[in-house]
A and B are shown apart, each in its own frame.
Chain A
Amino acid sequence: MPKKTMRDAINEALHQAMAADERVFVIGEDVAGGNGSNGRIGCAGGVFGVTTGLYEKFGPLRCIDTPISESAIVGAAAGAALVGLRPVAEIMFADFIGVCMDQIVNQIGKFRYMFGGKSKCPLVIRFTTGGGFSAAAQHSQSMYQVMTAFPGLKVVVPSNAYDAKGLLLAAIADDDPVLFFEPKALYQVACEVPDEYYTIPLGQAAMPREGDDVTVVAFGQMVGRAAQAIDELEAELGITCDLIDPRSTSPLDEETILESVRATGRLVVVDESPPRCGLTADVAAMAAERVFHSLKAPVKQVCAPHSPVPFSPELEAAYLPSVERIKAAIRETAA
């Protein structure tokens, strides 16, 4: 099977979705690039190159550049979705949710329910997410944790290229609005990805490692670090772990997590978001409430501190959960 980077896998998914369904189009800042200039239209293909080639293949009505107007981008995509198209909007950095929060939270997330189930809003909004680039406090946040709190929005955060392609194709085929968070630190990471169209259902976790001693739940960029921590601990101490990658945080595959914790009795939850009202706390609370009697040790959360994301490379390295911190948490839990 061919190896592809996450960037290429997502690009391939967009090409395939647009080829398969003429209602699908992409809209956002510089998804083509070069419009109105003396250079080449299509020169950008998104600031991370994820939408490369879509303008050339599908033209200006299906690869639509916009001014820097995040609220209007989301609103326009939502309106098109309400009347039957299937837009894939791009908001570049997830931090810019701050600019278009009303359209996402008060509008698209509530249509179907407020309108008594009579509307569909088959809209995907893509964002880059997370730290690792020294991009500082306004370009590095993990907003999926916040957005997971809002009913009516589906939230996806892939951890590898294979999942990214299948999850994005499922998101585009979904009749509800889906927020799709792409960890920018993983764009260049490759794995085996089939050439053909396939989908991965939202709400179905993956389990990239299976073991007996500890359940580790990790999200997005942290899945790879958790896998490394687990592999090292198995080699060093013989501790084995289930590693659960929920892949979507809303809907969340509760049963896979609970079933694993019932078997291991120990839980470590890892995310790069801050701790309060967060994903790790949410999963920890779920375990405490529903499988308390299976627990043999306190649940451990490994997450970022309650601070904005710092710029300095050393500070950002200290901010993001490291393999060492994950190993320490697993060791403590297993002790």
Chain B
Amino acid sequence: MSFNREQLLRAYRQMCTIRVFEDRAHAEIMNGQIAGFTHLYAGQEANAVGVCEHLGAGDTIISTHRGHGHCIAKGADVIGMMKELWGSSEGLCKGKGGSMHIADIDQGILGANGIVAGGPPISVGAALAAKIRGRDSVAISFSGDGSVNQGTCFEAMNLAVVLKVPAIFVIENNYYSEHTSINYAVGCKDLKARTEAFGFPVFVADGSDFFAVYEAAGKAIAHARAGNGPAGVFCEMGRFHGHFVGDPEGYRGPGEVKRLRQDFCCLKKFRARMEQTGELAVAELDDIDAAVNVLIDEAVLAARAARRPVAAEVATDVYVNY
């Protein structure tokens, strides 16, 4: 699979934006600047970007409680996202949704979702709409290894096969549903075989490697766009942070996160490959790092200065005001 320079620069920039956004969100939460429950995606950036780099304006994604990365990868405005985390009325959802419910329907982002496996059935509906309208767009649902044990996930997978719709189930295995390992929570030894038994192909990728995810997602999306019905993508990669910010992470083994950060960082891997192939220069990647840091600094400053909501806004965007 070959990439031109623009594609490579863009992919790195997207992953870098997610990383810096998440690490900055972490710092601001620890400083007490952001309220609520926040679930960070740092470490898993290659999954979102490897999938979303295949998507166009007509395609949709639906996300999870750990949704910042998916939203950025699909093109959400990071300043609007940061304002949303701050609870500002200038945020992408006017401060009403917060971290767990960032959405941008115009960008094809059908929302982060606070209910595990709440997204897959909805994504089947978006795929069904594409089929009914005769369009070649696809609908992506991102969900975690925890989601695969929910009835809604099973129902969505089966319905997608029955209706033969272009739904792509991207299952991101970060090894833990909250504090419980996939080794315990998924009873069978072969989740790929269990999923394929629904009747669609599943493509597996190292979730720390952008190129591997891009290739697997490409196969799944091509399958669905060609009218062959749903497909699955399994990405395996741990998260750098806890389940939520503040999680004491007692389920981690010694040195686990350090090892993830050292040996399985998608940004480091991307840089190593560029150094090896010479496709991009180190300085170009450094420039992206610097530009992204400036962007995220701007986003935080904008979020701090953004308009705070007033009480009357509680009863807007709903059909009554009592």
A272 within 8 A of B: no
Q: Does A106 contact B (CB under 8 A)?
A: no
Whether the pair A36, B182 counts as a contact (CB closer than 8 A) is: yes
Which residues of chain A have C-beta atoms less than 8 A from B313's C-beta?
A: 310, 315
> In the assembled complex, which residues on chain B have CB atoms less than 8 Å from the CB atom of A134?
35-37, 87, 98
Give bound CA distance, A25 to B4, whole Å.
Answer: 59
Is A247 interfacial (CB-CB < 8 Å)? no
Known: A29-B178, A36-B180, A47-B178. A307 touches B314 (CB 8 A): yes
Q: How many residues of A contact B (CB 8 A)?
A: 45
Query: Contacts of A313 on B, CB cut-off 8 Å?
Result: 35, 87
Check A318–B314 contact: CB distance below 8 A. yes
User: A50-79: which residues lie under 8 A (CB-CB) from chain B?
Assistant: 65-72
Cβ contact within 8 Å between B256 and A38 = yes
Whether A305 contacts B96 by the Cβ 8 Å rule is: no
Smallest CB separation, A54 vs chain B (Å): 14
In the assembled complex, the CB of B182 is this many whole angstroms from the nearest CB of chain A, namely 7
Residues of A contacting B: mostly = loop
CA distance A68 to B98 in the complex (A): 23
Cβ–Cβ < 8 Å partners of B184 in chain A: 35-37, 65
1/0 per position for B101-121, CB-CB distance to A under 8 A? 100000000000111111000
A133, CB-defined interface residue at 8 Å: yes
- CB atoms of A307 and B318 under 8 A apart: yes
Contact A307 B253 (CB under 8 A): no
Interface positions, chain B 174-201, Cβ under 8 Å from A, are 175-186
Within 8 A of A (CB), among B181-232: 181-186
Inter-subunit contact A68/B149 (CB<8 Å): yes
A136 at the interface (CB under 8 A from B): yes
Chain B residues with Cβ below 8 Å from A68 are 116-117, 146-147, 149-150, 177-178, 185
Contact flag A312-B248 (CB < 8 Å), given A275-B322, A305-B322: no
Distance of A68 Cα from B181 Cα, bound (Å): 11
On whether A306 and B320 interact (CB within 8 A), knowing A68-B116, A312-B309, the answer reads yes
Instruction: Answer yes or no: A96 CB below 8 A from chain B CBs.
Output: yes
Residues of A within 8 A of B317 (CB): 307
CB pair B179 A43 closer than 8 Å: yes
Q: How far is the CA of A99 from the CA of B184 in the complex (A)?
A: 22
Residue of A nearest to B146 (CB): A68
Q: Name the residue on A nearest B96 (C-beta).
A: A310
Give the interface centre of A95, A137, A314 by most chain B CB atoms within 10 Å.
A314
- For B86-97 the 0/1 string (1 means CB < 8 A from A) is 011100010111
Other-chain contact of B178, A44, A306, A310 (Cβ < 8 Å): A44
Knowing A36-B180, A36-B182, A44-B178, say if A136 contacts B101 (CB, 8 Å): yes
Which chain B residues border A71 with CB–CB below 8 Å? Answer: 151
Q: Which residue of the partner chain, among B88, B116, B179, contacts A30 with CB atoms under 8 Å?
A: B179
What are the residues of chain A within 8 A of B249 when measuring CB–CB?
39
Query: Which A1-55 residues have a C-beta within 8 angstroms of B?
Result: 29-30, 33-40, 43-44, 47
Q: Which residue of A lies closest to B256 (CB)?
A: A38
- Cross-chain contact of A39 among B88, B252, B314 (Cβ < 8 A): B252
- Closest-by-CB residue of B relative to A42 is B250
Do residues B180 and A35 form an inter-chain contact, with CB atoms below 8 A?
A: yes
Q: Could you say which of B37, B256, B311 contacts A318, with CB atoms under 8 Å apart? A: B311
Q: Which of A65, A98, A275, A315 is the one whose CB lies under 8 Å from B95?
A: A315
Q: Are the C-beta atoms of A305 and B177 separated by less than 8 Å?
A: no
Residues of B within 8 A of A308 (CB): 96, 318
For B153-170 the 0/1 string (1 means CB < 8 A from A) is 000000000000000000
B321: interface (CB < 8 Å): yes
Name the interface residues of A148-173: CB closer than 8 Å to any CB of B. none
Q: Which positions in B face A, CB cutoff 8 Å? A: 35-37, 87-89, 93, 95-101, 113-118, 146-147, 149-152, 175-186, 248-254, 256, 308-311, 313-315, 317-318, 320-322
4 pairs of A and B residues whose beta carbons are closest in the complex: A43-B250, A38-B253, A36-B184, A311-B98
Query: Apart from A68-B178, A138-B113, A318-B311, what 18 extra A-B contacts exist at CB < 8 Å?
Result: A33-B251, A36-B181, A36-B182, A36-B185, A37-B175, A38-B254, A66-B185, A136-B97, A136-B98, A136-B99, A136-B101, A137-B114, A310-B96, A311-B35, A311-B36, A311-B93, A312-B309, A314-B95
In the assembled complex, 28 residue pairs joining A and B whose CB atoms fall closer than 8 Å, in A order, are A30-B180, A34-B180, A34-B251, A37-B183, A37-B252, A39-B250, A39-B251, A39-B252, A68-B150, A68-B177, A69-B150, A70-B150, A99-B150, A134-B35, A134-B36, A135-B100, A138-B113, A306-B322, A307-B315, A311-B97, A312-B35, A312-B88, A312-B95, A312-B96, A312-B308, A315-B87, A315-B96, A315-B311
